[in-house]
Chain A
């Protein structure tokens, strides 16, 4: 029983959410990556972020839309309004050609950062 409690506590400590600066920095590649998989809307995108990160990336519901609008303004994604079967107005977003190019660049950058950190941690200095 004590062991289980200890493991849970350690698990909780390790499962500290990713700090907000990193969440903000990764928001663009995250949204672009999700939309690379197909058209989607705000609520669905948010759920995918939570699912992909196992809940470690804490995106507030209100934070998503400004990110989407900024990406739309930059021409990386494009939105269109549709009526759902329930008769609701819903905005769907898709990746643009420019967005695909940016995603490729972002992917390279994040891989470079991740690779460098992995090497650094693997060298036993940390």
Chain B
């Protein structure tokens, strides 16, 4: 037996699988599809619900075509921000960075390590790992809510920036190390991007009913 609700759920699952649309975008398309089904049934009383749904689905378009239309409207802000955060992070790997235990021994003028030299450093792994985890989000859809990751990135970014500012206020040499500032800032920017993504990705929750 045909059940419209279950067929609509199937449609949604299929579009979700075959496109890069967010749940919120799907909510809007689902509402449109329902309106189209209603219209078809209203226009032709002899039409059966499965036929009405088939016409409505065709009118709305294939998942790949929908995905293309949405992509044409431009990238969401969170994605651009996340790409920016990663660009900053990548740049920090090529710039001179700060390493507490090295400064007194080597001196800034004598040797300034670059970010990539410290990337494999075990001590920095907990800092770098969250940044590596967010990288796939730039290219492909992932069912990652990212709230905890946004929190971790935010804490790392804020605390390292705090250390930097405190050192700078004391007249420390950290001011001279652009790699450190780019590295710290990349975490903050990535955190903001994930918060924005979470907001745009979440399914819509209407606050009140229309009278």
Contacts and interface: CB of A to CB of B under 8 A. Distances in A.
Interface string A35-78: 00000011100000000000000001111011101100100000
B36 interface: yes
A49 to B, nearest CB: 14
Contacts of A88: 31, 34
Interface string B51-84: 0000000011100011001101110110000000
A94 B74 CA distance: 21
Interface residues of A, number: 23
Contacts of B40: none
B32 to A, nearest CB: 5
A61 B60 contact: yes
Nearest to A92: B210
Nearest to A41: B31
A84 interface: yes
Interface of A: 41-43, 60-63, 65-67, 69-70, 73, 81-85, 87-91
18 contacts: A61-B36, A61-B60, A61-B61, A63-B69, A65-B29, A65-B69, A65-B70, A67-B73, A69-B25, A69-B70, A70-B74, A81-B205, A82-B207, A82-B208, A85-B209, A88-B34, A89-B31, A91-B27
B69 A66 contact: yes
Interface residues of B, number: 28
Please report whether the interface of chain B is mostly helix, strand, loop or mixed according to DSSP: helix
A81 B70 contact: no
A89 B32 CA distance: 10
Contacts of B102: none
B204 interface: yes
Nearest to B211: A85
A117 B207 CA distance: 48
B73 A66 contact: yes
A71 B69 CA distance: 15
B136 interface: no
A83 B61 contact: no
B204 A91 contact: yes
Contacts of B126: none
A61 B32 contact: yes
